[in-house]
Structure 1
Amino acid sequence: MKIGDRIKGVSRRDFFRIAGTYGMSSTLLAAGTFGGVMTAANLAKAAESTYNKRFAKEAKHTLKFGAAGFNPQNLLIERAGCLEFARDLEERTDGEIRIEFIGNNQICGQLSCVEKAQQGIIDIYAASTQNSAGGAPYLNVLDYAYMFRNRADQYYFMYSPESQRILRDPLEKRHGLKFLFTHAELRGIQMGMSFADKPTVTRIEDIMGTKNRVTGTQLGRIAMEALNLNPVPVAWEETLDGLKQGLIDGAETWASAVAYANMSPVVSQCVDLRFFCGTEHTAMRSETFDGLSGELQDAVMESSYLTQVHVQAANEAALVNTVGFTDPPMPGTIFAENDVRVAKLSDEEVRKAEEMCSPEFQPQLWEQWRERINSWAGGIDTYQDIYNEVRNNSHTLAENVEPRRWWKG
């Protein structure tokens, strides 16, 4: 079943009418539970049931969750776990915590959600760590080129107690944010329509000299400059128009981001360069977390763990069955329907790119930022410590990585 088929039965007018009756959060949470075709009638019934359950008792804490541009529909494409987390946390705390879910860029966007959380306007946010690095520069720690070999490495690190020491604790201390969970993909270069009539990319030289959108991450720019990919800062919300108008040749992002953001019609080739993190994370304001009782804090962590496990499995499945991130894409997937070719580079070609831009082979390119990030983390060697930790991972398939409660050591 295509993604669009699930929501054809509900018009925008009907959706907002239902939301006006039962509240936007209850309606969104209800919509997120549908696996089959949704109609206005069954959405209204589900929203009513969700509303009654959520408001059966008075909440001790109502937390605002700013989820950038996410909604129940595109969260079926990129499985970032936002609604699963909200639903589980409300149920786990028997309604003592209530989540006001605000997506569709209504309260914050990819670049601003982190700042809104730091300012106390929202309590929880979801956005990529790379776009959030403008407001929380320590998140650059995830973006050293080729530090992670594959998605399995990324999940391995997020479950590891070492992520507490290297990522989570310094982030909380420096920026007042508690890193809860994340989806994991590796970024490639998404070529626009100027590459539609060109042969499928097989070499890094095929895309050298092109002009490509870059996120808010500083470290991503270092890698792109070393690869002669001419990084141009473009806000995520403006990337689609930039590709449409030919202002940029391509964009660095990951496969499911292309699909969920409706970029597939203007992307001709998804070049799987795998050169640094694409992590759509959810974090909570530390002051909000600290204001909860110990029991509710435990619930937040357990809901984060459950959501992390869900995201690990669901996004791996969605990449194949919904996005079409295979060569060739499976029929009926978003990439297949939009003629997006997946350009899988050989191991030798990826190694060539790694030797051109990674800290292991080009340490001089990274010295300034590496020293800065290390000092923020208390003097540890962040790159080497993460690099060493993920080399303990024996899995190449992300779904095979064993979940662990990272905060328990």
Structure 2
Amino acid sequence: MSTGNKLAGISRRDLFRVAGRYGMSSTLMAAGGFGGAMSLANLASAAESTYEKRFAKEPKHTLKFGAAGFNARNLLIERAGALEFARDLESRTDGEIRVEFIGDNQICGQVSCVEKCQQGIIDIYAASTQNSAGGAPYLNVLDYAYMFRNRADQYHFLYSPKSQALLREPYERRHGLKFLFSHAELRGIQLGLAWEDKETVTSIDQLAGTKNRVTGTQLGRIAMTALNLNPVPVAWEETLDGLKQGLIDGAETWASAVAYANMSPVVSQSVHLDFFCGTEHTAMNAGVFDGLSGELQDEVMEASYWAQTHVQAANEAALVKTVGQSDPQLPGTIFAQNNVRNAFLSAEEKKKAEEMCSPEFQPQLWEEWRERINGWQGGADTYQEIYDEVRTIDGDTLPENVEPRRWWKA
């Protein structure tokens, strides 16, 4: 059953009616955990049950979770794990921690969540690392071009104890935030409707000279410029119209973002350049974490580990069964319903792109940012160490087969 069919019986108005009685967090947690087709009646019943369980005892801590534009619907498309983490944390602490989940851009958006978490307005946030890099620049460490070969490399690094010194500890030290877990995809170019009648892209050369919307990533702009992809900043509210009207050729993002953000109707080809990270992460205010008892801190870490394993499996399944990132596509997927073609580039073409833009082959393009990030870390060569670490696994490892590890334990 597709995500759209599962939730088709629930209107936004009905969702808010139920939330008005049982609270938005209880309603969203109930909706996110529902397995089959959902009606208003069974949503209300599930929300009531969730509410009664959550409010059976007074919590020691109530944590406010700002989840950008996410909600129960789109978290079944891009499986970022936010609701699963919240439910599990409440359950494993027997209600001593209560999580108030606030999505749909009600308290913060993709760019502002990180700053509101740093300011203590919210305690936990979920957003892409690229959009969060404006407020927490160390997150740029993930965005060196072609440092990760595939999604398996990304998951391997997130689980690796090496991620402590190369990502998590500098991020916490510099920005006061604790990196908990993340989804993992790689970015490509999502071509608009002007490319609908053109041949499916098979070469980076076909994209040369195109004009493409870029997100907040500083390092992504270096790669796009080197690939002659002409990165241009375009406000989100103008992006969909730009793709539809041909004012821009494409936008850099990843497949499930196209699907969950309702870009699919204005995207004709999803070109899988896979040139740098698309990582929808969840993080916590470090001061709030430090204020928990040792036992509850352990539970936060265990809930993060569980959420990471959930995301690894669920998003890999959703890419094929919900989004439609496969060849051939499964019927009923979002890409199939909207006639979005996958453009998978050959290994040779990806190598050509890598040689055009990566630090491995074009080190001079990256010197300034590489030196800056290395200084923030404490002196390590961040690109080289992450590059080497992820290549300790075979290049053809499937993402779902990466071994989960508790990264905070050696």
TM range (shorter): over 0.9
How far apart in 2 are the matches of 1:235 and 1:131?
13
Task: Find the counterpart in structure 1 of residue 215 from structure 2.
Answer: 215
Task: Find the counterpart in structure 1 of residue 342 from structure 2.
Answer: 342
Q: CA RMSD in A?
A: 0.9
Between 6-15 and 348-357, the greater mean CA deviation after superposition: 6-15
How far apart in 1 are the matches of 2:248 and 2:90?
43
1:107 is paired with a residue whose SS is coil
**Alpha-carbon distance change, 272 to 251 in structure 1, aligned in 2, over 3 angstroms:** same
Check whether the contact 1:111–1:235 (CA below 8 A) recurs between aligned residues.
Answer: no
Task: Find the counterpart in structure 2 of residue 319 from structure 1.
Answer: 319
Task: Find the counterpart in structure 2 of residue 129 from structure 1.
Answer: 129
Check whether the contact 1:327–1:341 (CA below 8 A) recurs between aligned residues.
Answer: no
Structure 2 counterparts to residues 59-138 of structure 1, below 5 A: 59-138=59-138
Task: Find the counterpart in structure 2 of residue 405 from structure 1.
Answer: 406
Report the AA paired with residue 98 of structure 1.
R
How far apart in 1 are the matches of 2:109 and 2:240?
15
Task: Find the counterpart in structure 1 of residue 146 from structure 2.
Answer: 146
Task: Find the counterpart in structure 1 of residue 167 from structure 2.
Answer: 167
Cα deviation for residue 36 of structure 1 reads 1.1
Task: Find the counterpart in structure 1 of residue 261 from structure 2.
Answer: 261
Task: Find the counterpart in structure 1 of residue 26 from structure 2.
Answer: 26
Unaligned runs of 5+ in 2: none
Cα deviation for residue 235 of structure 1 reads 4.1
Report the AA paired with residue 317 of structure 2.
A
Cα deviation for residue 156 of structure 1 reads 0.3
Cα deviation for residue 248 of structure 1 reads 1.6
Cα deviation for residue 277 of structure 1 reads 0.4
1:408 is paired with a residue whose SS is coil
Are 2:376 and 1:376 equivalent residues in the alignment?
A: yes
When normalised by structure 1's length, the TM-score is 0.99
Cα deviation for residue 249 of structure 1 reads 1.0
Check whether the contact 1:328–1:341 (CA below 8 A) recurs between aligned residues.
Answer: no
Cα deviation for residue 5 of structure 1 reads 1.1
How far apart in 2 are the matches of 1:336 and 1:76?
17
When normalised by structure 2's length, the TM-score is 0.98
Unaligned runs of 5+ in 1: none
State, as a whole percentage, how many aligned pairs show the same letter: 80
Q: What are the superposed Cα offsets for residues 261-303 of structure 1, whole Å, 9 maximum, x if unpaired?
A: 1100100000000000000000001011011110000000000
Report the AA paired with residue 398 of structure 2.
L
How far apart in 2 are the matches of 1:245 and 1:92?
50
How far apart in 2 are the matches of 1:302 and 1:246?
47
How far apart in 2 are the matches of 1:254 and 1:364?
27
Structure 2 counterparts to residues 287-326 of structure 1, below 5 A: 287-326=287-326
How far apart in 2 are the matches of 1:158 and 1:18?
37
How far apart in 1 are the matches of 2:142 and 2:390?
12
Cα deviation for residue 393 of structure 1 reads 1.3
Check whether the contact 2:194–2:245 (CA below 8 A) recurs between aligned residues.
Answer: no
Check whether the contact 1:110–1:236 (CA below 8 A) recurs between aligned residues.
Answer: no
Cα deviation for residue 244 of structure 1 reads 2.9
Between 246-255 and 316-325, the greater mean CA deviation after superposition: 246-255
**Alpha-carbon distance change, 241 to 123 in structure 1, aligned in 2, over 3 angstroms:** farther
How far apart in 2 are the matches of 1:361 and 1:200?
28
Structure 2 counterparts to residues 38-53 of structure 1, below 5 A: 38-53=38-53
**Alpha-carbon distance change, 155 to 235 in structure 1, aligned in 2, over 3 angstroms:** farther
2:366 is paired with a residue whose SS is helix
Check whether the contact 1:185–1:278 (CA below 8 A) recurs between aligned residues.
Answer: yes
Q: What are the superposed Cα offsets for residues 183-221 of structure 1, whole Å, 9 maximum, x if unpaired?
A: 000000000011101000000011111111111111000
How far apart in 2 are the matches of 1:132 and 1:242?
24
How far apart in 2 are the matches of 1:314 and 1:236?
27
How far apart in 2 are the matches of 1:397 and 1:28?
32
Residue-pair matches, total: 409
Cα deviation for residue 237 of structure 1 reads 5.2
Check whether the contact 1:141–1:373 (CA below 8 A) recurs between aligned residues.
Answer: yes
